[in-house]
């Protein structure tokens, strides 16, 4: 945790997603037949007992989180960072991630594999959805298929058993199976039932989270969490400053919101990677030898600290350094090094033939066009840092700061030598979408086989990992202890929070 006592402008991460049409308007209305309560809540599942539509106001000292009633609460389609943060309180996956990005069992009781291709998962028995329905293998198969995360087949091999057969080995598959499990056929409902420790109570601006008495876990959860309805980010920050909201979510982002609050800041690592993409199809960067050399020309630490305001951590390997998967030996081998860059360039070009201070090929200076999205000041600063470093190292480069639309057009048309990009990797840190999928803007050709992926990755250098973003949870100074946010779960271990 970082504690900061000062007046600071806080940059809200991913807030730009609030404007995306994908979130959509939430048109849900209270059902006429009420919402049934599971058997463990001392009411038969078929009784038709209704949950109150109007939630009571928050009590003094009670937890209260912000959410946006006009945005989606569906765990598969939600893209609002505040609504998305509630998902892990309401829904569960077969696994959940800890602070080191290790998978720990949630709805899964046992799993086995012999070759990382075929996996068998046993589902925890006696688990109920909030609507009283028992969890079965059918629900898991349906949810995993709907998520689209599995590159292979998913089948039911028992009432409480699912088998996954992958097309390519993945020894980290459990990390990927953190997606929410919902009842079969329910994924497109406004807010399908979950199995988590909390359930939605009420609708619209009167929504709150109530503890789920039939939850299969044993933790002593808060009985209720109030939800503060917001329409704008300013509503959230104002409510936080007034003590009405217990926590806000921050990071670097496109919207700067300033307010004066004495805060405790609890950092949270993410899978959001910043990287340099190359045009592997044409131009100088189509030569893997140049891409290999350029790995040593990126001062990642300067970008993370100076350009992204310490809201990121440098990463040579395309894995968050907080993860146990991060390879420190590779980090040292491929870190920023003007000496290694010069040696690799000398092997390729043989020096500065025309003696003008820049590397050249057959008497012509190597010149690189770099594209960046101009709507992100942080990314522009990062790209400017790269241009300045390349110039110092003897590479001419030209920075093109573009609108979001023009930037995407440049990527699609491959009108670049390099581009500064950002991607939210899956929880197993797979690079397949960048190297062989819809984000392969550089037209890199992935080999069918490799003995060691990272040896292949660094030798061919289809991209250069720069850093991973951090998000944070802010609480008012001294009010709450024990906050421990993790990837995808800002309110991780909420039952361990201590209130002063």
Question: How much is the average pLDDT of 488-498?
Answer: 88
Question: How much is the average pLDDT of 305-314?
Answer: 87
370 neighbors 418 (Cβ within 8 angstroms): yes
Greatest C-alpha distance within the chain: 86
- What's the confidence (pLDDT) of residue 350? 66
Task: Give CA 147 to chain center in angstroms.
Answer: 15
Please report which confidence band the pLDDT of residue 31 belongs to, taking 50, 70 and 90 as the band edges. very low
350 neighbors 363 (Cβ within 8 angstroms): no
Structural domain spans, the chain = 2-91+196-262, 95-176, 269-471
The per-residue pLDDT for range 213-229, each reduced to its tens digit, is 999 998 788 889 999 99
11 class by beta-carbon count within 10 Å (0-12 exposed, 13-18 middle, 19+ buried): buried
Question: What is the overall mean pLDDT for the chain?
Answer: 85
Report d(CA 356, CA 360) in Å as an integer.
9
- What's the confidence (pLDDT) of residue 250? 80
Please report which confidence band the pLDDT of residue 8 belongs to, taking 50, 70 and 90 as the band edges. very low
Please report which confidence band the pLDDT of residue 123 belongs to, taking 50, 70 and 90 as the band edges. very high
Q: Indicate whether 174 pLDDT > 60.
A: yes
What size, in residues, is the chain?
500
Task: Give CA 324 to chain center in angstroms.
Answer: 17
Q: Indicate whether 207 pLDDT > 70.
A: yes
Task: Using alpha carbons, select from 132, 122, 124, 206 the residue that is nearest to residue 163.
Answer: 122
Report d(CA 180, CA 200) in Å as an integer.
15
Report d(CA 21, CA 225) in Å as an integer.
28
433-439: long-range pairs with CB below 8 Å, 24+: 434/275, 434/277, 434/462, 434/463, 435/462, 435/463
- What's the confidence (pLDDT) of residue 209? 95
- What's the confidence (pLDDT) of residue 262? 80
- What's the confidence (pLDDT) of residue 361? 73
Q: Which CATH architecture has domain 269-471?
A: Roll (3.10)
How many alpha carbons lie under 13 Å from residue 446 in its C-beta half-sphere? 15
- What's the confidence (pLDDT) of residue 362? 65
- Topology given in CATH for the domain delimited by 95-176: Dipeptide-binding Protein; domain 1 (3.90.76)
Element (H, E) at 112: strand 108-113
Report d(CA 196, CA 448) in Å as an integer.
41
Residue keyed to tokens 């809201």? 311
Question: How much is the average pLDDT of 440-469?
Answer: 92
Instruction: Classify 393 as helix, strand or coil.
Output: coil
Question: How much is the average pLDDT of 169-198?
Answer: 95
DSSP for 337-360, please give it.
-HHHHHHHHHHHH-S-TT-SSS-E
Question: How much is the average pLDDT of 101-112?
Answer: 95
461 neighbors 444 (Cβ within 8 angstroms): no
Question: How much is the average pLDDT of 393-401?
Answer: 95
The per-residue pLDDT for range 142-153, each reduced to its tens digit, is 999 999 999 999
The per-residue pLDDT for range 46-78, each reduced to its tens digit, is 434 344 444 455 554 579 999 999 999 999 999
Task: Using alpha carbons, select from 124, 87, 113, 125 the residue that is nearest to residue 173.
Answer: 113
- Tell me the β-bridge partners of 122: 110, 161
Task: Give CA 376 to chain center in angstroms.
Answer: 18
Q: Indicate whether 130 pLDDT > 80.
A: yes
How many helices (H) and strands (E) are present in the chain, helices listed first?
Answer: 12, 24
Report d(CA 172, CA 323) in Å as an integer.
12
- What's the confidence (pLDDT) of residue 24? 35
Give, in order, the Cα–Cα distances in Å from 312 to each of 59, 82, 295: 36, 20, 19
Comparison of pLDDT for 194 and 366, the residue scoring more? 194
Comparison of pLDDT for 496 and 34, the residue scoring more? 496
The per-residue pLDDT for range 258-292, each reduced to its tens digit, is 445 688 888 889 999 999 999 999 999 999 999 99
Report d(CA 371, CA 389) in Å as an integer.
16
For 408, residues 6+ apart whose C-beta sits below 8 A from its C-beta are none
Start-to-end C-alpha separation, the chain: 17
The per-residue pLDDT for range 476-486, each reduced to its tens digit, is 888 899 999 99
Instruction: Work out the number of other CB atoms within 10 angstroms of the CB of residue 29.
Output: 10
447 class by beta-carbon count within 10 Å (0-12 exposed, 13-18 middle, 19+ buried): exposed
Q: Indicate whether 15 pLDDT > 50.
A: no
Instruction: Classify 164 as helix, strand or coil.
Output: strand
């Amino acid at each position: 945790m970082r504690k900061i006592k000062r007046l600071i402008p806080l940059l809200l991460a991913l807030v730009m997603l609030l404007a995306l049409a994908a979130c959509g308007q939430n048109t849900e209305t209270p059902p006429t037949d009420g919402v049934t309560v599971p058997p463990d809540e001392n009411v038969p599942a078929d009784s038709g007992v209704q949950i109150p539509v109007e939630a009571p106001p928050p009590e003094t000292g009670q937890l209260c989180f912000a959410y946006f009633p006009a945005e989606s609460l569906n765990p598969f389609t939600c893209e609002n960072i505040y609504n998305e943060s509630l998902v892990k309180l309401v829904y569960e996956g077969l696994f959940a991630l800890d602070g080191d990005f290790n998978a720990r069992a949630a709805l899964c009781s046992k799993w086995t594999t012999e070759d990382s291709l075929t996996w068998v998962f046993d589902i925890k028995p006696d688990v109920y959805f909030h609507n009283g329905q028992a969890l079965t293998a059918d629900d898991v198969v349906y949810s995993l298929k709907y998520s689209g995360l599995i590159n292979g087949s998913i089948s039911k091999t028992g009432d409480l058993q699912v088998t996954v057969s992958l097309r390519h080995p993945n020894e980290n598959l459990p990390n990927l199976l953190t997606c929410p499990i919902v009842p079969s056929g329910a994924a497109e409902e406004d807010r399908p039932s979950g199995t988590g420790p909390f359930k939605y109570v009420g609708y619209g601006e009167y929504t709150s989270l109530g503890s789920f008495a039939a939850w299969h876990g044993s933790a002593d959860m808060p009985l209720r969490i109030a939800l503060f309805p917001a329409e704008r980010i300013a509503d959230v920050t104002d409510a936080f400053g007034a003590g009405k909201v217990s926590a806000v979510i921050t990071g670097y982002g496109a919207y700067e919101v300033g307010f004066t609050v004495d805060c405790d800041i609890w950092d949270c690592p993410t899978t959001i990677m910043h990287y340099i993409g190359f045009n592997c199809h044409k131009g100088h960067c189509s030569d893997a030898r140049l891409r290999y050399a350029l790995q040593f020309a990126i001062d990642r630490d300067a970008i993370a600290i100076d350009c992204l305001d310490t809201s990121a951590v440098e990463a040579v390997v395309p894995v968050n350094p907080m993860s146990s998967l991060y390879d420190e030996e590779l980090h040292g081998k491929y870190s920023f090094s003007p000496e290694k860059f010069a040696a690799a360039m000398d092997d390729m070009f043989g020096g500065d033939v025309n003696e003008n201070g820049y590397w050249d090929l057959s008497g012509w200076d190597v010149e690189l066009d770099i594209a960046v999205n101009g709507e992100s000041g942080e990314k522009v600063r990062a790209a400017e840092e790269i241009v300045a470093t390349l110039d110092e190292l003897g590479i001419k480069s030209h920075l093109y700061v573009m609108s979001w639309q023009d930037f995407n057009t440049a990527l699609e048309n491959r009108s670049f030598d390099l581009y500064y990009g950002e991607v939210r990797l899956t929880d197993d840190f797979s690079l397949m979408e960048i190297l062989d999928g819809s984000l392969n803007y550089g037209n890199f050709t992935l080999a069918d086989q490799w003995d060691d992926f990272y040896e292949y990755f660094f030798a061919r250098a289809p991209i250069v990992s720069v850093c991973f973003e951090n998000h944070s949870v802010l609480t008012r100074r001294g009010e709450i202890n024990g906050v421990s946010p993790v990837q995808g779960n800002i309110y991780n271990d909420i039952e361990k929070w201590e209130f002063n």
